[in-house]
Structure 1
Amino acid sequence: MHHGKYRFIAGFLAGPLALYTLFVIWPFLQAVYYSFTDWTGLSPDFAFTGLRNYERLLDDEVFWKSFQHSVLLVVLVPLVTIALALFFAFMLNVGGRRRRGAAVTGVRGSAFYKIVYFFPQVLSIAIVALLFQFAYNPGNGAINAGLRAVGLDSVQPDWLGDPDYALWSVMAVLVWCTVGFFVVLFSAGMSSIPLDFYEAALLDGASRVTTFFRITLPLLWDTVQSGWIYMGILALGAEAFAVVQIMTVGANGGGPDYSTTVLPLYVYVKAFRDGQAAYATTIGVALLVVTLAFAAVVMRLGRRERLEY
């Protein structure tokens, strides 16, 4: 009987596992293999070169710049995004003033604010990057025009042309276009927390800040941890690549003096501009290691006893 059950389960798993191996595991293995060759990506001919690409990687200044930028993105962007999303979601669900018939409620107009916060998710990341590219224009962009309107004519940075501002400007766009998703995600999680918990805490004299750290955050921790990992992967992957590629890429890639070059963009530049596919896969392997290390650190530091209600 049990053998028949196992064969039944194995029959259902065989197809998905075969597809996963073919389209996910096998490309990863191919990338690792090509990182030990001199493949150009344009010719079927290549030779095995051992660790030469990895030795080159250690001496590549642009790689280390892009590595530092990616680490900065994966630390700061999720931190700011998750913090803002938690604050907004808390205010929209339980941070409002006490009203008649409801001791715990969100701020007035919370449904409208959720739509406003979620609106950037409706736009393509390419559209968002183009809009902010125009907004950051030092001559007639909306941001510098706003500074002039309030009398700050002397403060007119070249947001995307100055190496000191370019990466920070890109990070601001990433936060703006992703925070709304997490507001909705955390709002859904908070709405499942019984209001009795908040009402009991308020009766005991707890403040809104106390209820957030003692009730909301512990009960929402699994969602926050998953969101942190997801946001970190976005900061190391397609979202960061798209914003940097559209907003700041010049002749050399990655803004002025490589100030916004990140690992995904450097992979693209080496593979498709320079025809160095093998070296690009080497950078891709390094990116994979960084991504796995980030997920492992978040899972390890965020491990705590599961709370149920």
Structure 2
Amino acid sequence: MDRGGRRFVAGFLAVPLLLYAIYVIVPCAQAFLLAFTGWRGVNATPEFVGADNFRRLLADDVFWRAAGHNLLLLLLLPPVTIVIALLFALLLGGQGRGVVGGRAAVRGAGFYRVVFFFPHVLAVALVAVLFQQVFRPDRSGMLNAPLIALGFEPVGFLSDPGVALWAVLGVLVWQAVGFYVVLFSAGLASIPRDLFEAAAIDGAGGARLFAGVTLPLLRDTVQAGWVYLGVAALDVFAVVWVMTAERGGPDHSTTVMAAETYRNAFQYSRFGYACAMGVVLFLFAAGFAVLALRLSRRERIEFR
């Protein structure tokens, strides 16, 4: 690229980079600095307290319980969502369409993809309010109404500490699956049919086609989805805050790190302490992303 081309590109990138620096990098840097202060949101000059906030955080049982909930979601949300999305993408888009041993797409696949994608379009707060009604423990609850009609006791999906977090996980999977169905369907459509034909001639059946052709060529797409879902599992604030009892209850059974950060900042006015929580959450997310990318590193597969 010549000097004129570089200037042209730099001119287009200057404003977006400036806005990114002002609204993302600078606030993040401020949060890191405030994590070492006792700022309560009203004092003009934050008092420097060193690492006191982080020492206090080590003894905060509620925060580490919230971190455990995030870790559970991190372990379950990506694999469950990806497996379900891959299954639906294969059912809708097929693999090796028209190839012996392959699987053809179903009729109306485009319509089904729109239906699957629709939950992803809904605002997270709207989804949380919707599932508050679905999980109601009386006859107006969509899940409990049939149980009550059959003479069973209603399930406290949001009031039972042993069940509430699983209800949150179910909502997260329900909302996320549709996006990955569309993503994986696009990946399937990009795989050349010749590869399926060659595998089918060698005697590969549907399972072998998936394990030997489809999955390896979708690996980069699955990897990106895994990282995105992992980061999403560390930031489930809206669903927990809107849908669950006591905004993270009952008895802190569904609280997550982001909820505790918000609670300490805007309910208890412990902004310095909340920033320390935010720093820990950032390190969790960055560490997961780096680890996931390193573990899945491999030579890039190219096909035409």
Q: Same fold (TM over 0.5)?
A: yes
Change (3 A) 1:4 1:200: closer
- Structure 1 equivalent of residue 34 of structure 2: 34
- Structure 2 equivalent of residue 260 of structure 1: 254
Identical aligned pairs, as a percentage? 49
1:5-44 correspondence to structure 2 within 5 Å:
13-44=13-44
- Structure 1 equivalent of residue 240 of structure 2: 244
Q: Distance in 1 between matches of 2:119 and 2:273?
A: 35
1:1-309 correspondence to structure 2 within 5 Å:
13-94=13-94, 104-140=103-139, 141-148=141-148, 151=150, 153-154=151-152, 156-237=154-235, 240-250=236-246, 253-309=247-303
Change (3 A) 1:102 1:111: farther
Cα deviation 1:96-133 (Å, max 9, x = unaligned): 9969x996521333223212211212322222111111
Q: Is the 8 A contact 1:104 1:199 kept in 2?
A: no
DSSP 3-state at the match of 1:105? coil
Q: Distance in 2 between matches of 1:242 and 1:12?
A: 34
Change (3 A) 1:205 1:155: farther
Unaligned runs of 5+ in 1: none
Change (3 A) 1:7 1:64: same
Aligned residues: 302
Of 198-207 and 172-181, deviating more is 198-207
Q: CA RMSD in A?
A: 2.5
- The one-letter code sitting in structure 2 at the alignment partner of 1:19 is L
Q: TM-score normalised to the size of structure 2?
A: 0.91
Q: Is the 8 A contact 2:237 2:258 kept in 1?
A: yes
Q: Distance in 2 between matches of 1:110 and 1:71?
A: 35
- The one-letter code sitting in structure 2 at the alignment partner of 1:222 is D
Change (3 A) 1:32 1:200: same
- The one-letter code sitting in structure 2 at the alignment partner of 1:191 is A
DSSP 3-state at the match of 1:142? coil
Shift in Å at residue 22 of structure 1?
2.1
Shift in Å at residue 154 of structure 1?
3.3
DSSP 3-state at the match of 1:44? coil
Change (3 A) 1:148 1:209: farther
Q: TM-score normalised to the size of structure 1?
A: 0.90
Q: Distance in 2 between matches of 1:188 and 1:34?
A: 44
Q: Is the 8 A contact 1:96 1:107 kept in 2?
A: no
Q: Is the 8 A contact 1:104 1:195 kept in 2?
A: no
Unaligned runs of 5+ in 2: none
